[in-house]
Chains A and B, each alone.
Chain A
Amino acid sequence: MIMEIYKEHILDLYKNPQNKKILNNFTSEFSKNNLICGDTIQVQLLIQKEKIKDIGFSGDGCAISQASASLLTDKIKNMSIKQIKNLTKEDVLELLKIPISYARLNCALLPLDAIKGALENAGN
């Protein structure tokens, strides 16, 4: 059962996260805490002409939150602001392709919350 969650693609992303970087050139940023474990994720966005031109995230987290951040940050590159704002919990779960229990939902959704927070900070 546990192997359904800790699948290879999740563990790979945990060990080699995508877009885990600090941007020097960004238009907005946002930090979000996971209230259960105290983890913090920070998202930076470079928005140009209503599109995400670059994105970086930082902060330690569990395998689920790190994989979710990698997959989401990849997905939203070149998406429009409006499309990103419409992303839902289901979209995140579809990206992760693993069963997420109630207790881990916070971990999975933390990156999306941070991204949406950064969009709001940018005045969107």
Chain B
Amino acid sequence: MKDNFKKDFPIFANLPKLVYLDSAATSQRPKVVIDALKNFYEKENANIHRGIYTLSEEATKNYELVREKIADFINADTDEIIFTKNATEGFNLLSNTIKELIPNGKNEIVLTDMEHHSNLLPWQNFAKRYNFKLKFIPLTKNYELDYDKAKEIINKKTAIISFTFVSNVLGTINDANKLILLANAQNALTIIDASQAIQHFKINVKKLNCDFLVFSSHKMMGPTGVGVLYGKKKLLEKMPPFLVGGGTIDSVDYENAVYLEPPRKFEAGTPNFAEVIALGNSIDYLKHISFDKIQKYEAELFEYALEKLHKIKNIKIYNPGKNKSAPVISFNIQDIHPHDIAHILNDKNIAIRAGHHCCMPLIKKLGILGACKVSGVCRASLSIYNTKEDLDKLIAALKKAQEIFGK
């Protein structure tokens, strides 16, 4: 653990006592990203596209450069990258435009038991609107997907399978290759929620052969207000636009409009161009460190955290274990409500999350799997700026909570 990434993140210099264990909700930003935002607004600010002056041309060039950077980052083609405002918008875009791609006779959508509400509610609406059936791949007792059941659930009626690469609650890394092969065999469309994966390991959309992939900037050390949707070009071309307006059209008269080719037809209105440009700096930062280093560092931290947490008495950990999980650990301590634990930890400047983590159906399932009542869980999620000292403080504070509650 000789690397010190903490120094790259100004928040820790400003709040030296902060133990930030909520990176799955949003990551902290390195100085290079914050500086990029400030630099843009102070020295480069102009709206993109259509401006026939240097400042606007430069802004447009830098905005489009980030599209190239992202394409390179996930091994896509540049015009397969659409900027959205967040991952949620990516799913809403898909659920509102994907119907055109579904052949007659297919009327089932397959999700998993561990989806975030953002990859559940858009499909609930879709299913109600078009009279489709939702099916869910269940969990095993080890908090992994049950792939035997997946084989039964994915069939010739499956139109779409949309699943998270990494669970925001369980940390589980799902076998995307296996699910995509099952989907391909049934000629079903595949969508990956990479919101909790993109910051932890290298993603290669061509190798995965997924049809669509969604993630957000703010969980990968980039600014808020930017999401990314990757889609195979031949599919994007067949889809109608989602939000329409300025920036999406080739020509317009009072009755009709001709839309541009993807990705432009999916980017209506002035985008968060300053934030998109600064997202480019977060990608540079991640690439500069390299995923080899990130994975090694996070794996060591994660293993340390698991080992220490397992030693706490009366703890229940909802995680499949090392090598099967991103550094996200949800847990409960017997007879202490997660809200109270988070409150006591906050008193020690430790930020964790407690509740249902936008996964209410999953939390109910955990109650059943764990054979105990669960209304919420505590979640500690790690990133490269965390240290073993942070985890020691977490453990000490959890013991303090047990002391307060007299357990």
Q: List residues of A whose CB falls within 8 A of some B CB.
A: 1-3, 5-6, 11, 14-15, 36-40, 60-64, 103-104, 107
Contact indicator A107/B339 (Cβ below 8 Å)? yes
Contact of B356 with A by CB under 8 A: yes
From B338, B343, B363, B406, give the contact of A104 (CB < 8 A).
B343
Chain B residues contacting A5 (CB-CB under 8 Å) are 343
B349-390 interface with A by 8 A CB criterion = 354-356, 360, 363, 373, 375-376
Cα–Cα, bound, A1→B152 (Å): 55
Is B344 part of the contact surface with A, judged by Cβ < 8 Å? yes
Q: Do A40 and B375 touch across chains, with their CB atoms under 8 A apart?
A: yes
Residues of B participating in the A interface, judged by any CB pair closer than 8 Å: 335, 337-340, 343-344, 347, 354-356, 360, 363, 373, 375-376, 404-406
A11 surroundings in chain B (CB, below 8 A): 404-406
Residues of B within 8 A of A15 (CB): 335, 406
A2 is contacted by which of B338, B356, B376, B404 (Cβ under 8 Å)?
Answer: B404
CA distance A62 to B376 in the complex (A): 10
Contacts of B354 in A (CB 8 A): 37
Find chain B residues with CB under 8 A from A64 CB.
339-340
A1, A2, A14: residue with the most chain B Cβ atoms closer than 10 Å: A2
Q: State the Cβ distance, A111 to closest chain B Cβ, in Å.
A: 15
B406 contacts which chain A residues (CB < 8 A)? 11, 15
Residue of B nearest to A39 (CB): B375
Q: Once the chains bind, are A37 and B343 in contact (CB under 8 Å)?
A: no
B343 / chain A contacts, CB cutoff of 8 Å: 2, 5, 62, 103-104
A61 to chain B: closest residue by CB: B337
Q: With A1-B347, A6-B404, A38-B360 as given contacts, are A60 and B373 in contact (CB-CB < 8 Å)?
A: yes
A38 & B347 in contact (Cβ 8 Å cutoff): no
Q: Roughly how many angstroms separate A62 CA and B335 CA in the complex, as a whole number? A: 10
Nearest CB on A from B336, distance (A): 8
Q: A14-B405, A103-B343 are in contact. List 17 more A-B contacts (CB 8 A).
A: A2-B404, A11-B406, A15-B335, A36-B339, A37-B337, A37-B338, A37-B339, A37-B355, A37-B356, A37-B375, A38-B375, A38-B376, A39-B375, A60-B375, A61-B337, A63-B337, A104-B339
| Complex contacts, B363 vs chain A, CB 8 Å | 38
- Would you give 14 A-B contacts (Cβ < 8 Å), ordered by A? A1-B347, A2-B343, A2-B347, A6-B340, A37-B339, A37-B355, A38-B363, A39-B376, A60-B373, A61-B337, A63-B337, A64-B339, A104-B339, A107-B339
Q: Known interface pairs A3-B404, A38-B375. Does A62 touch B356 (Cβ–Cβ under 8 Å)?
A: no
* A64-B339 Cα distance, complex, nearest whole Å: 9
